[in-house]
Amino acid sequence: MAQKYDVMVIGPVSVDYNIDYLGNERREIGGAVVASGFAAAGSGARTAIFCKLNEKDADVEERFRGVQADVYWKASSATCSIRNQYFTADKEKRQCTSLDVCDPFRFEELPQMETAVYHFAGLVYGDFDGALFEEASRHGKVALDVQCMLRHVEPDGSMRFHDWAEKKRYLPLMDYFKTDAAEAEIITGLSDRREAAGLLHEWGAKEIVITHNTEVLAYAGGKMYTCPIKARNLSGRTGRGDTTFAGYIAARQQGRSVEEALRYCTALVSLKMETPGPFRGTRQDVLEYMKEFY
């Protein structure tokens, strides 16, 4: 019998150069697919990870060592690479520069396994296109972190956020849709996160998750829920949104309500942000954190 997954996390591996506000630089092999893949698997979801990279730049086996997921990958002519310059201790203000981009993803490249959710965890515009979302929607639910539809690489390598021109065409395909507060304003023109969530739902997205440095918001079925972030430090701030979204999707596949999934994913990301790197704990660790802090 063919393997069946709760979620398949799809996206490019990235070679990141992260420079903090004091000028300390760290080279890290990351990307949304890493943070999301570890968070989904650590949350107990049956997880497949499909990534692309050039093997001269990074070792897939090494990067995903210890993950409780099946890892698949395809060679790309180049590996995505981003330089992140942070200007503040809370890492809210940063300048991103693209050093290289991955080949685009196509549906026929994905492992042809049954999965309940296709979770698209991209990094820049061009990683995915509408045809990919349309085909995925014929086979399962579609989850998208919108960052990769807004973040464009300019000719000089700088990265600029632009509205997603085809949003109204493709939002109705989105069973789960995630933005952060700034991205929500770019797409909707609304600075109020609650109003933005309502408009995204009007445009067709079924369940919306919006992250902010103080809380996570979920909107579904005409109801809005929020849950506060309680991280005691921000040493693991990188991957905040990816971890949150993957945790939310995992909890929903396990039969949790929207409100329960929100509480779980907010506790998960609060715990994850206290340690650099992807989440390497278990669902039980998150449940214990929830008992203590929620």
Q: What are phi and psi of 34, to 5 degrees?
A: -75, -55
Beta strands in 60-113 (DSSP E): 70-75, 80-86, 94-100
CATH value of 4-293 in 3.20.20.60, 3.10.450.50, 3.40.1190.20, 3.40.50.300 = 3.40.1190.20
Compute the average pLDDT of residues 231-257.
95
- Prediction pTM value: 0.95
- All structural domains of the chain with their residue ranges: 4-293
Q: What is the pLDDT of residue 194?
A: 97
Compute the average pLDDT of residues 84-98.
85
| For residue 248, pLDDT beyond 90 | yes
Q: What is the pLDDT of residue 22?
A: 93
DSSP letters of 153-204? E-TTSBEEE---TTHHHHGGG-SEEEEEHHHHHHHHS-SSHHHHHHHHHHTT
Task: Tell whether the torsion through CA atoms of 8, 11, 14 and 18 is positive or negative.
Answer: negative
139-182 pLDDT, tens digit per residue, is 999 999 999 999 999 999 999 999 999 999 999 999 999 999 99
pLDDT > 70: percent of the chain: 99
Query: Hey, what are 132's tokens?
Result: 């990919």
Q: What is the pLDDT of residue 237?
A: 85
| For residue 284, pLDDT beyond 90 | yes
List residues bridging with 81 in a β-sheet.
Answer: 15, 100
Q: What are phi and psi of 204, to 5 degrees?
A: 125, -15
6-58 pLDDT, tens digit per residue, is 999 999 999 999 898 999 998 999 999 999 999 999 999 999 999 999 999 99
